[in-house]
Amino acid sequence: MMAPAPRTQTPIWTTAQAQRLRALMQAKGWDEAQLAQWAALSIQQVRELCSEADCEQLGAFYSHQIKRHAGARLIEKLSPGEPG
């Protein structure tokens, strides 16, 4: 019986998502503090979400799932054509 192929671990929050969030924030003309206030997040959480280097880190979040959910909601709300 063959063993399953090993999975490569990828961060739940990706660099592509971090880049997208930063681009959407900048398109609104907002800085991290403005986005944090609008989203009811801490500045540290927004910095972590917007940082390509911190995708695998959980410094400001309790879990990867919470981090991904918070970031995905921000992208959804900031995307052109979306309310909010």
Give ∠ CA 69-29-84 in degrees, rounded to 5.
45
Q: What is the pLDDT of residues 16-67, one digit of tens each?
A: 999 999 999 999 999 999 999 999 999 999 999 998 776 777 788 888 888 8
Model's pTM, two decimal places?
0.77
Residue 84: pLDDT above 70?
no
Helix and strand numbers (H, E) in the chain are 4, 0
